[in-house]
Amino acid sequence: MRKILIVGAGQAGMQLALSLQAEDYEVTVMSARTPDELRDGWPTSTQVMFDPALQYERVYDLNLWEDEAPRIPAVGISVSPEPGVRALKFDGPWEPYAMSVDQRLKMSSWLELFEDRGGRIIYHPVMTSDLAGLASMYELTLIAAGKGEIVELFDRDPVRSKYDTPGRALSAIYLHGMVEPDDFPAGSMRINVAPGVGELFVISALTQFGPSRVAFVEAIPDGPFDCFWDRPRPDEHLRRLQHVMLEHMPWEGELMLDCEPTDARASLSGAFTGTIRKPYAEVADGTFVFGMGDVVVVNDPIAGQGSNNAAHCAGIYTQAILDRGDRPFDPEWMQATFETFWETRAQHSTGLTDALLNPLPDHVQQVLGAATQHQAVADRFTRLFPHPEDLGPFLGDPEAALAYVAEVAQADAATRA
């Protein structure tokens, strides 16, 4: 039985720990917080898990909320070129559906599940200086703690990393009482885009307090949406959110008038810089640790790829560890395993994130306009979120993208004739 240490108890670390535990590996997890501390704490992220990522959880019976969490069957997109003006909107399905579970609920439950299944958890923060002694006790040590000084062990990849500063100021709040709109399929996630200002995402989610909505804002720094920098308490956070949305996106602001925070710690705000890091680091002579999840690929959440990347990373790493058998987990294996993750998933999710963070080229704007007229175009665009690998084939070549739109328009015209 091979001995593995996982430092960090988020989506990537806990999914890997529970998966390897089911495969009879001797896994130890180190978590800075206990289940109660996680459950009663502040949110650390938002998340929308798409079906390809959820499939990794289902293999090991980890999707504990399959029948309880609200199902997100589609996404609706609106564009607001100036305050109060909704220039276009369209929607498309996510098949079979997406799902969001507050990570305060999810990770605390997964820690308890791991212990119930006989796993060993050490509740203690891990510093960089601790790793030399710890890693030597295990055949493989993985770092899944995506924040703090420990991340700095892993060198920034200057070729794959494009940003030196955060692209957006981020804020979110979990809410009860939001009215359901009647212009998108029930339960849809909603993306509202105000070019030059920012974005509002509204997400159906499950918390320990029941079903809720998450209002998640991506604000261009120093713009009107960037009004949560001082990390206000939930009541004040909601007041500011209502004020700015009634001015800029009144069709959303009016749905929030009777909302209230789900709990006394329902909000978060902050910012981070998208970064790709080298996948392994040497912590002592000949002793290496292997990064995963946000440690090695952290993207702005504008494309909803963070938790999905983490799930894909954990799934790919699980299979690579199983395939390794009794052979050593050396740096060459670590690099090759990361490259598999990068080539099959992370490069595509990073590309989609980059595309949405930056001003859209003319041909993409034309595609969005066509999506309001042709459902096939809308469906293919909204499918990019669970399947970012289609970004290049769909929108990478302007001539090919517009030729596709023309082909769809011609087919629709023939159908109507």
* Residue 144's pLDDT band (cuts 50, 70, 90): very high
Mean pLDDT score, 154-171:
97
Residue 374 has pLDDT above 90, yes or no: yes
Pull the structure tokens for residue 373.
């007229």
Residue 148 has pLDDT above 90, yes or no: no
| pTM score of the predicted model | 0.97
pLDDT tens digits for range 12-32: 999 999 999 999 999 999 999
Residue found under tokens 């809308």: 378
Rounded distance between C-alpha atoms, residue 354 and residue 345, angstroms: 14
pLDDT tens digits for range 305-354: 999 999 999 999 999 999 999 999 999 999 999 999 999 999 999 999 99
pLDDT tens digits for range 215-265: 999 999 999 999 999 999 999 999 999 999 999 999 999 999 999 999 999
Residue 416 has pLDDT above 90, yes or no: no
Query: Residue 197's closest CA among 283, 279, 80?
Result: 80
pLDDT score for 350: 98
Strand 260-261 to 169-176 pairing: antiparallel
Pull the structure tokens for residue 70.
């609200």
8 Å CB contact between 84 and 248: yes
Helices marked H in 249-393:
250-253, 306-324, 331-341, 347-357, 362-371, 375-382, 391
pLDDT score for 146: 81
Provide the mean pLDDT of the chain.
97
